[in-house]
Chains A and B, each alone.
Chain A
Amino acid sequence: MKRAQGDRIFWLFAFFSSLSVIIMFTLLFYELLANSLPIWSRGIDFITGMVWNPLKGLFGALPFIYGTLVTASLAILLSAFLGVGIAIFLSEIVSGGIRDTISSIIELVAAIPSVIIGLWGIFVLAPFVRDSLQPLLQHLSFIPLFSGRTLSGLSMLTAILILTFMVTPIVAAIAKDALLMVPEDLKEALYSLGATRYEVIRNVCIPYARQGIFGGVILGYGRALGETMAVTMVIGNTPAISASLLNPGYTMAAVIANEFTEATGDVYLSALIGIALLLLLISLAVNLVGRMIVWKWQQES
């Protein structure tokens, strides 16, 4: 029986450390919920309230929820469009060394810390949005989305562009892998019938890889929702709901980053922790859906 002793002890170690995953998960929710109770006791007003004025004791989180959803959603639309384009380029148009080189460059830049991207956002992208992009968008000012005017360049539009740059490499990498899994003989069959590349991609590749691509987009969306630093640095940090993307906005992650250490009083702090809980729930749900789609697709193919 002595032989089994070592095995038993080793198993116990492994077992308890993996139990810690469950414990941490529970603890995470417990801490966020317990510490945000004062704000939940105010009821639904916290989520639907449009006014955030801690000095007057008004804690409406809607401007942040709006800012997070609008910036992340528009960014993921752009990212899906561009990411699939890049994936098609890498999987169908180039191959071998060129494909590997471009893929590694894109993966490498995706590793740049978000605070550096934010720094670039403040000093390069924001002035670009103000001086170059804004005059162009003036022609579209009849559309409410582009009706405003930014003097600093710190705006929702700047945040959307920053997020697009950050998330597209993720979408592109997963979509490329999905497209590369399309069986060659299916494509060959259509090519041998005289189909053009467009027709093969449209009728074989995209339908075959659809689930993988979609999973990648959802994972990118999760990433965009939770992104903090780069967005905080360029969005202008103004808790207002406005239709125009050229106006400053605020996100859930950004308000926590900015106000957490300055939050005086229990209600203020609990409001911020409540926002953290909401953000966690939204991102985990999105992430879970994305993983399930990617996972299911990997099982099937």
Chain B
Amino acid sequence: MEMAARKLKDHALTIYSLLSLVIITIPLLHIIATTVINGAQSLTPEFFTSLPKPPGEEGGGVANAIQGTAILVALTMLISIPAALLTAVYLSEFPESRLRDLIRLLNDTFMGTPSIVAGVFAYSLLVTKFGFSALAGAFALSVLAVPMMVKTMEEALKLVPADIREAGLSLGIRHWRVITSIVLRTAMPAIASGVLLTVARISGETAPLLFTAFGNPNFAGSVLEPVSALPLVIYVYAISPYPDWHRKAWGASLILMIAVLSINLITKYRLRRKR
């Protein structure tokens, strides 16, 4: 083939790949920049510490949503970490079997559950019987969190060299002690990273909370009451007709974005330093 034509194709490829990067990076960076610029105006101390005011009244904050997100994330982790850790241990530390293949397959499949469906599931299982509550919200979030964590935890456990296990067993240490004090301890940094990334993912979820945690204009008194959450507030304020609420939606977005992105950054930094 002629040299000029070959060179031209080569340049076209470079332009195509560079252009793809630019087309996708610009909107994504624009999202961050817009959130920072619009959100910064709302971030007063009052915004963090006070409850929302009715539409039309200036002032007020999202303290209840911050509390709600903290409760929901803590509850979700309380449910998911033990379940996911034990499942991951079962998948990686005990002999292969048909059942394990099935569990792994179902867990992988579960990772494709749309977040809104997790909300519907929690609604029909819990809300129809006990009403809207933080617990139902945390359950919906756990449906999404457990499969993610099982996956990362199993990978973390698999990275622990087999020699360490065999060394422990050959010293006459019982299997469960080898797992808890040797294998889990060695894998702990990687497990912690997986948990942190899941926290980041979960704290931004809105759809599973719409008809489980439901939202609450006040602080929640117990986990059996409805609670607010930052993503819920962002959604409700965003689709409202009030400019003041729009400003607050950006403010709440900035808080949520800083939280989510810094967890991600810290985790990445830790992982990189380890390598």
Residues of chain A whose beta carbon lies under 8 Å from any beta carbon of chain B: 3, 6-7, 9-11, 13-15, 17-22, 24-25, 27-28, 31-32, 34-35, 81-86, 88-89, 92-93, 102, 104-109, 111-120, 122-125, 164-165, 168-169, 172, 196-199, 201, 222, 225-229, 233, 253, 256-257, 260-261, 272-273, 276, 279-280, 283-284, 286-288, 291
With A124-B34, A196-B7 already in contact, the answer to whether A280 and B264 are too (CB < 8 A) is no
The answer on a CB contact under 8 Å between A279 and B117 is yes
With A108-B264, A120-B34 already in contact, the answer to whether A14 and B112 are too (CB < 8 A) is no
Using Cβ atoms and an 8 Å threshold, which residues of chain A touch B146?
21, 24
Q: Which of A21, A81, A276 contacts B116 (CB 8 A)?
A: A276
The answer on a CB contact under 8 Å between A287 and B89 is no
Using Cβ atoms and an 8 Å threshold, which residues of chain A touch B265?
108
Say whether B242 faces chain A, with CB atoms less than 8 Å apart. Answer: no
24 A-B contact pairs sorted by A residue (CB < 8 Å): A7-B175, A11-B94, A14-B93, A17-B86, A17-B87, A18-B91, A85-B20, A88-B13, A111-B260, A111-B264, A112-B260, A113-B257, A114-B206, A115-B235, A116-B35, A116-B257, A118-B238, A119-B250, A198-B9, A222-B112, A228-B115, A279-B116, A283-B117, A286-B112
Q: How far is the CA of A152 from the CA of B246 in the complex (A)?
A: 17
The answer on a CB contact under 8 Å between A198 and B31 is no
For window 1-51 of B, CB contacts with A under 8 Å fall at 6-7, 9-10, 12-14, 16-21, 23-25, 27-32, 34-35
The answer on a CB contact under 8 Å between B124 and A31 is yes
Using CB atoms, name the residue of chain A closest to B253.
Answer: A116
Using CB atoms, name the residue of chain A closest to B237.
Answer: A119
Known pairs A14-B87, A32-B120 / 19 extra A-B pairs, C-beta < 8 Å: A15-B90, A28-B117, A28-B121, A31-B125, A92-B17, A112-B31, A112-B204, A112-B261, A115-B204, A115-B238, A119-B35, A119-B250, A165-B27, A196-B10, A222-B112, A257-B116, A260-B119, A283-B112, A283-B117
**Chain B contact residues, majority secondary structure:** helix
Q: How far is the CA of A83 from the CA of B257 in the complex (A)?
A: 24
A135–chain B nearest beta-carbon distance, Å: 19
B106–chain A nearest beta-carbon distance, Å: 5
Say whether B108 faces chain A, with CB atoms less than 8 Å apart. Answer: yes
Using Cβ atoms and an 8 Å threshold, which residues of chain A touch B28?
106, 109, 112, 165, 169
The answer on a CB contact under 8 Å between A85 and B6 is no
Using Cβ atoms and an 8 Å threshold, which residues of chain B touch A260?
119-120, 123, 210-211
Q: How far is the CA of A9 from the CA of B176 in the complex (A)?
A: 9
Chain A to chain B: the 10 pairs with minimum beta-carbon distance, closest first: A113-B204, A287-B112, A85-B20, A226-B114, A10-B176, A17-B86, A89-B17, A14-B90, A109-B28, A228-B207
Using Cβ atoms and an 8 Å threshold, which residues of chain B touch A89?
17-18, 20-21
Q: How far is the CA of A114 from the CA of B257 in the complex (A)?
A: 11
Say whether B190 faces chain A, with CB atoms less than 8 Å apart. Answer: no
Using Cβ atoms and an 8 Å threshold, which residues of chain A touch B175?
7, 10
**Chain A contact residues, majority secondary structure:** helix
The answer on a CB contact under 8 Å between B121 and A25 is no
Q: Which of B87, B143, B249, B268 contacts A18 (CB 8 A)?
A: B87
Point out which of B9, B28, B214 has the most chain A C-beta atoms below 10 A from its C-beta: B28
The answer on a CB contact under 8 Å between A123 and B86 is no
Using Cβ atoms and an 8 Å threshold, which residues of chain B touch A119?
35, 234, 238, 249-250, 253
Residues of chain B whose beta carbon lies under 8 Å from any beta carbon of chain A: 6-7, 9-10, 12-14, 16-21, 23-25, 27-32, 34-35, 82-83, 86-87, 89-91, 93-94, 100, 102-103, 106-117, 119-121, 123-125, 143, 146-147, 150, 174-177, 179-180, 200-201, 203-207, 210-211, 214, 231, 234-235, 238-239, 246, 249-250, 253, 256-257, 260-261, 264-265, 268
The answer on a CB contact under 8 Å between A17 and B83 is yes
Q: How far is the CA of A112 from the CA of B112 in the complex (A)?
A: 19
Q: Which of A14, A196, A286 contacts B89 (CB 8 A)?
A: A14
A77–chain B nearest beta-carbon distance, Å: 13
The answer on a CB contact under 8 Å between B103 and A18 is yes
Q: Which of A13, A35, A229, A256 contacts B124 (CB 8 A)?
A: A35
The answer on a CB contact under 8 Å between B17 and A284 is no
The answer on a CB contact under 8 Å between A280 and B114 is yes
With A14-B89, A229-B235 already in contact, the answer to whether A280 and B113 are too (CB < 8 A) is yes
